[in-house]
């Protein structure tokens, strides 16, 4: 890699690792892409705004987690394959060890009186939130009797009968798309 006289020196791999490690270990929930933007575009000027936005667009259309895709994109733009591998490794190192520590702590916490009840309560709340989200999504997606039938059949096949989700979705998707496809008389009104 030859450096042009007007170009800044390449970003060191250790600096890429440090920034993406902090992002990986300190982030919970969403918002990682905006954090990556702040750290790499706004604070450090490692990458231009336009180039970063191109990476976000690319990250959204590629399979996988959007924030991980953007991290790999930024690392690649900064230092090629080594930068991409460094950014990905850094983003995953902290959470990997965090999950291991949580698993070890969970085993210890199981011995505490009442911990099982706490976990059961948290699980019940999470299931309630998922059920609410599913019901809200069903109301939005239900555009007629065929859509409701597709929702019900998918729920029964995957949730009750435990059929493979990919096979069920593959079979039900064409019916669902056909039911929602705009018809010529729908467009006239």
Residue 3 has pLDDT above 70, yes or no: no
Q: What is the pLDDT of residue 92?
A: 94
> Where do we find the tokens 């299931």?
127
Q: Is the pTM of this model over 0.75?
A: no
Residues 84 and 135 in one domain: no
Q: Is the dihedral angle over the CA atoms 18, 22, 32, 118 positive or is it negative?
A: positive
Residue 161 has pLDDT above 70, yes or no: yes
Task: Report the number of distinct structural domains present in the chain.
Answer: 3
Cβ neighbours, 10 Å, residue 69? 20
- pLDDT tier for residue 188 given thresholds of 50, 70 and 90: low
Measured distance CA(150)–CA(81) in Å, rounded: 44
Q: What is the pLDDT of residue 146?
A: 82
Residues 104 and 56 in one domain: yes
- pLDDT tier for residue 4 given thresholds of 50, 70 and 90: low
6-32 pLDDT, tens digit each: 777 899 999 999 999 999 998 876 678
Cβ neighbours, 10 Å, residue 100? 10
Q: What is the pLDDT of residue 186?
A: 56
Domain end among 109, 128, 160? 109
Measured distance CA(4)–CA(17) in Å, rounded: 25
Measured distance CA(13)–CA(85) in Å, rounded: 10
Domain residues for 65? 13-109
The answer to which of 34-43, 76-85, 105-114, 136-145 has the lowest mean pLDDT is 136-145
Measured distance CA(16)–CA(125) in Å, rounded: 38
Measured distance CA(179)–CA(143) in Å, rounded: 8
Residue 2 has pLDDT above 70, yes or no: no
Output the DSSP codes for 51-64: HHHHHHHHHHHSSS
E strands within 66-150? none
Residues 133 and 52 in one domain: no
> Where do we find the tokens 């750290």?
39
């Amino acid at each position: 890699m030859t450096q042009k006289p007007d170009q800044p020196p390449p970003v060191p791999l250790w600096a890429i690792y440090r920034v993406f490690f902090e992002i990986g270990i300190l982030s919970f929930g969403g918002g990682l892409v905006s954090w990556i933007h702040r750290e790499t575009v706004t604070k450090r000027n490692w990458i231009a705004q336009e180039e970063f936005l191109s990476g976000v667009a690319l990250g959204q259309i590629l399979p996988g987690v959007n924030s991980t895709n953007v991290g790999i994109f930024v690392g690649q733009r900064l230092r090629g394959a080594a930068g991409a591998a460094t950014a990905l490794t850094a983003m995953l190192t902290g959470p990997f060890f965090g999950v291991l520590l949580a698993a070890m702590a969970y085993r210890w916490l199981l011995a505490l009186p009442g911990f099982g009840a706490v976990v059961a309560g948290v699980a019940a709340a999470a299931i309630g939130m998922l059920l609410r989200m599913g019901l809200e999504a069903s109301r939005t997606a239900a555009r007629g009797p065929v859509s409701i039938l597709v929702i019900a059949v998918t729920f029964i096949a995957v949730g009750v009968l435990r059929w493979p989700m990919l096979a069920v979705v593959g079979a039900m998707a064409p019916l669902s798309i056909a039911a929602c496809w705009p018809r010529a008389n729908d467009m006239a009104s």
